[in-house]
C-alpha cells in the first residue's frame, strides 16, 4: 500500500471494500486521522463486535441441536454428533476467551437459539417437534461443560 495516500485518491467505501480497508489501515498507521472515513470505519469496527456475537449464536444453536439429538435419538448417536458437540464448545470457549465481555452472552441468547435448534433437531431426526420440550432442557452451564452429554429420556 502506498505510504503517501492523498485524500482525493482514496477509494470510496462502496467502490471496493477490500481496497478501502487497506487504505483505511494505512491511514491509521500513518496517523492521518483527519483523512479517515470515520463513519464507515466506526460502523465496520462495531460490526466486528456483532460478528463475534453472531458466531456465538450460530455455534450455540448447532451445539444445542446436537445435544437434543443426543438425548432424544440415542439409538442413532454417532461420532460425528459428538465431534460437533466438542467443536462447538471449543469454538465458543475460544470466542469467550478472546472477548471476555461476552462471557454472559450465551445465557442471554439461549432461549432464542433454542427455538431454532429445536426445529432443526426435529427436522434432522424426523421426530415430531412435540417430542422436544418447549423450553431448553439444559442449563447453559451444562451446554458449555466439555464433559456433559445428556442421558436418554
Q: pLDDT tens digits, residue range 97-137?
A: 999 999 999 999 999 999 999 999 999 999 999 999 999 99
Question: What is the rounded average pLDDT for all residues in the chain?
Answer: 93
- Given a contact cutoff of 8 angstroms between Cβ atoms, the answer to whether 12 and 20 are in contact is yes
Residue 136: helix, strand or coil by DSSP?
Answer: coil
Residue with cell 460425528: 80
pLDDT tens-digit readout, 45-79: 999 889 999 999 999 999 999 999 999 999 999 99
- Given a contact cutoff of 8 angstroms between Cβ atoms, the answer to whether 11 and 20 are in contact is yes
Residue with cell 503517501: 4
pLDDT reading at 151 higher than 60: yes
Alpha-helical regions (H) of 1-152: 17-30, 38-72, 79-98, 105-125, 140-144
Sign of the C-alpha dihedral computed for residues 15, 17, 19 and 25 taken in this order: positive
- Given a contact cutoff of 8 angstroms between Cβ atoms, the answer to whether 67 and 143 are in contact is yes
Amino acid at each position: 500500500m502506498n505510504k503517501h495516500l492523498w485524500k482525493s485518491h482514496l477509494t470510496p467505501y462502496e467502490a471496493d471494500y477490500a481496497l478501502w480497508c487497506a487504505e483505511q489501515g494505512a491511514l491509521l498507521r500513518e496517523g492521518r486521522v483527519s483523512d479517515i472515513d470515520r463513519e464507515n470505519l466506526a460502523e465496520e469496527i462495531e460490526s466486528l463486535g456483532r460478528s463475534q456475537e453472531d458466531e456465538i449464536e450460530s455455534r450455540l444453536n448447532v451445539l444445542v441441536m446436537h445435544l437434543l439429538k443426543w438425548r432424544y435419538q440415542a439409538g442413532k448417536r454417532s461420532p460425528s454428533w459428538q465431534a460437533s458437540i466438542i467443536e462447538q464448545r471449543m469454538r465458543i470457549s475460544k470466542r469467550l476467551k478472546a472477548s471476555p465481555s461476552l462471557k454472559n452472552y450465551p445465557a442471554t441468547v439461549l432461549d432464542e437459539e433454542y427455538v431454532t435448534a429445536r426445529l432443526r433437531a426435529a427436522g434432522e431426526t424426523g421426530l415430531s417437534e412435540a417430542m422436544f420440550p418447549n423450553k431448553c432442557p439444559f442449563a447453559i452451564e451444562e451446554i458449555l461443560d466439555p464433559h456433559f452429554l445428556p442421558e436418554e429420556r
